[in-house]
């Protein structure tokens, strides 16, 4: 940069207006980039969930008539047909429970015994599908999928209270135990093992083939009764699903029912935050334009003198834009550093909840957007400066 030209143009000019405009631009650009980054991540997460579909576990409401045995809490074929034909769900799967007494007995790493219940769901509805999660008649090895919630309850509730060791997922898979089942059809003993864990279904799951065989042979039931159903839907928060459940006295996880609604609210908040950031940047842009007009007006005589001494319009324009580009580049760098810092803090908080925060591509896209917006600000002010120089000349 031409130091002599810089001194002539900026000598005796107040710098505070530009510093205040720069601070407003930094705040606005940082807010805009943080909002954009958050929006991209939230939107990508919601789109991923929509593609995967949302799963609901639905059961009947239990009332006094069920307690007195007047009415069953299981689903009849006609009720299942009504749910499938409602048009609200993409897929509907039956959840069958054991119709026999079941008990697990562990005698190795963890020594305890407890009554237990089993359920089975179609394999297509599992979020974790171990290859060995299958069973055939005559096989004594029984693979089991356990809810992650149950493992957490054991580690932070039962184990601490009973003086038992806490176990990880991998350690739990090494625990061997016996599964004793007993019913009208006799008694059977199987070698149970944990084949995997599920975060979708709060239950203890066994293969469908095992459930059907044991309900028939040990439980004395010709057909397994459907105790609950699992459904897949694109958006569980639509009002029609809530109205359907209420009409037929059905229950589902309210948190999952409100997930889509919460996602839309969060996206709206991010859009509002982005609008505030955009407002700050527009105000700072106006401040920059006004300050440049003021500088050009105050330096009008100096600029005329420079032109008479042989300085071209382009040279003066380049000098002003070089200084302004350096100023905006510093602001952009600070905004990106603020974004990285905020993302790091938010990422640690989100990871601590066991959630995914996406990859670095979102940061690159946001930084590129910030660069593009800064370039637009520079281009706008260069046009304004050029027009002012033409008027002075």
Checking if the pLDDT of 205 tops 90, the result is yes
Looking at residue 1, what is its pLDDT? 47
The single residue listed with the structure tokens 């974790």 is: 128
Same domain, 89 and 160: yes
Same domain (yes/no): 330, 385 = yes
Question: Do residue 305 and residue 225 come from a single domain?
Answer: no
Say whether both 84 and 227 belong to one domain: yes
Q: Is residue 182 part of a domain?
A: yes
- Helix count (H) and strand count (E) of the chain? 14, 11
Q: Is the pLDDT of residue 81 over 50?
A: yes
Q: Report the domain count for the chain.
A: 2
Least confidently predicted of 10-14, 142-146, 259-263 = 10-14
Domain boundary among 233, 252, 276: 233
Using a 10 angstrom Cβ sphere, with 0-12 exposed, 13-18 middle and 19 or more buried, the burial of residue 299 is buried
Expressed as residue numbers, the domain containing 328 is: 3-51+262-392
353 pLDDT more than 60: no
- Residues 20, 126, single domain; the answer is no
The whole-number pLDDT of residue 185 equals 86
Q: Are residues 353 and 220 part of one domain?
A: no
Judge whether 104 and 178 are in contact, CB under 8 Å: yes
Question: Do 40 and 61 share a domain, yes or no?
Answer: no
HSE (side-chain half, CA atoms, 13 Å) at 55: 20
> Could you tell me if residue 248 is inside a domain?
no
Averaged confidence pLDDT in the chain = 79
Instruction: Give percent of the chain with pLDDT exceeding 90.
Output: 11
Of 183, 216, 233, which residue constitutes the final position of a domain? 233
For residue 20, being part of any structural domain is answered with yes
Whether residue 58 is found in the same domain as residue 46: no
- pLDDT tens digits for 90-141? 889 999 998 889 998 877 666 677 888 999 999 888 888 888 899 998 899 9
Annotate 107-132 with three-state secondary structure: ECCCEEEEECCCEECCHHHCCCCCCC
Whether 155 maps to a domain, the answer reads yes
What does the alpha-carbon distance between residue 318 and residue 327 come to, in Å, rounded to a whole number? 14
- Do 186 and 319 lie in a common domain? no
Q: Is residue 254 part of a domain?
A: no
Judge if 220 and 283 occupy the same domain. Answer: no
| Domain end point (choices 233, 250, 276) | 233
pLDDT digits (tens, 9 = 90+) for 284-301: 677 766 766 666 666 677
Q: Please identify which residue in the block is written with the tokens 């992650």.
A: 148
Which of the four pLDDT bands, split at 50, 70 and 90, describes residue 160?
Answer: confident
30-34, 173-177, 197-201, 265-269 — which one is most confidently predicted on average? 197-201
Residue 137 lies in a domain: yes
User: Residues 77, 205: one domain?
Assistant: yes
Residue 245 lies in a domain: no
CA 22, CA 294: separation in Å to the nearest integer? 16
DSSP letter at 156 equals: I
| 65: CB partners within 8 A, 6+ apart | 71
Most confident among 35-49, 79-93, 235-249, 344-358 (mean pLDDT): 79-93
Kindly state whether residues 163 and 33 are assigned to the same domain: no
pLDDT, tens digit (0-9, with 9 covering 90-100), for 366-388? 888 888 888 887 887 777 777 77
pTM (2 decimals)?
A: 0.61
- How distant, in Å, are the alpha carbons of 117, 149, 168, 229 from that of 154? 16, 9, 11, 26
Task: Decide if 190 contacts 126 (C-beta within 8 A).
Answer: no
């Amino acid at each position: 940069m031409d130091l002599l030209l810089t001194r002539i143009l900026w000598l005796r000019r107040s710098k505070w207006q530009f510093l205040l405009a720069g601070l407003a631009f930094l705040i606005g650009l940082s807010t805009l980039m943080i909002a954009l980054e958050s929006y991209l991540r939230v939107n990508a997460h919601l789109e991923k969930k929509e593609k995967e579909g949302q799963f609901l576990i639905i059961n009947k409401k239990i009332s006094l008539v069920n307690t007195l045995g007047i009415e069953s809490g299981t689903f009849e074929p006609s009720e299942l047909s009504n749910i499938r034909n409602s048009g609200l769900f993409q897929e509907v799967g039956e959840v069958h429970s054991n119709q026999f007494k079941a008990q697990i007995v562990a005698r190795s790493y963890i020594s305890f015994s407890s009554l237990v219940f089993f359920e089975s769901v179609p394999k297509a509805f599992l979020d974790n599908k171990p290859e060995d999660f299958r069973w055939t008649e005559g096989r004594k090895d029984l693979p089991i999928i356990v809810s992650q919630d149950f493992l957490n309850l054991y580690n932070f509730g039962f184990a601490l209270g009973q003086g038992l060791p806490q176990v990880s997922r991998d350690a739990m898979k090494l625990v061997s135990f016996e599964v004793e089942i007993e019913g009208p059809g006799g008694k059977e003993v199987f070698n149970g093992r944990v084949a995997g864990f599920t975060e979708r279904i709060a239950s203890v799951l066994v293969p469908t083939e095992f459930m059907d065989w044991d309900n028939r042979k040990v439980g004395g039931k010709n057909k397994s009764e459907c105790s609950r159903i699992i459904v897949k839907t694109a958006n569980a928060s639509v009002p029609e699903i809530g109205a359907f459940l209420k009409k037929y006295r059905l229950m589902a996880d309210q948190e999952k029912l409100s997930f889509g609604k919460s996602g839309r609210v969060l996206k709206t908040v991010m859009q509002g935050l982005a609008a505030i950031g955009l407002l700050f940047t527009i105000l700072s842009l106006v401040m920059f334009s006004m300050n440049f007009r003021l500088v050009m007006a105050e330096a009008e005589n100096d600029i005329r003198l420079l032109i008479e001494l042989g300085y071209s319009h382009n040279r003066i324009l380049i000098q002003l834009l070089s200084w302004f580009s350096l100023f905006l580049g510093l602001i952009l760098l600070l905004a990106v550093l603020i974004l990285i810092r905020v993302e790091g803090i938010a990422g640690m908080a989100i990871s601590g909840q066991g959630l995914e925060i996406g990859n670095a591509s979102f940061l690159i896209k946001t930084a590129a957007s910030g660069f593009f917006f800064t370039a637009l600000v520079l281009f706008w002010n260069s046009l304004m400066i050029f027009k002012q120089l033409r008027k002075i000349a």
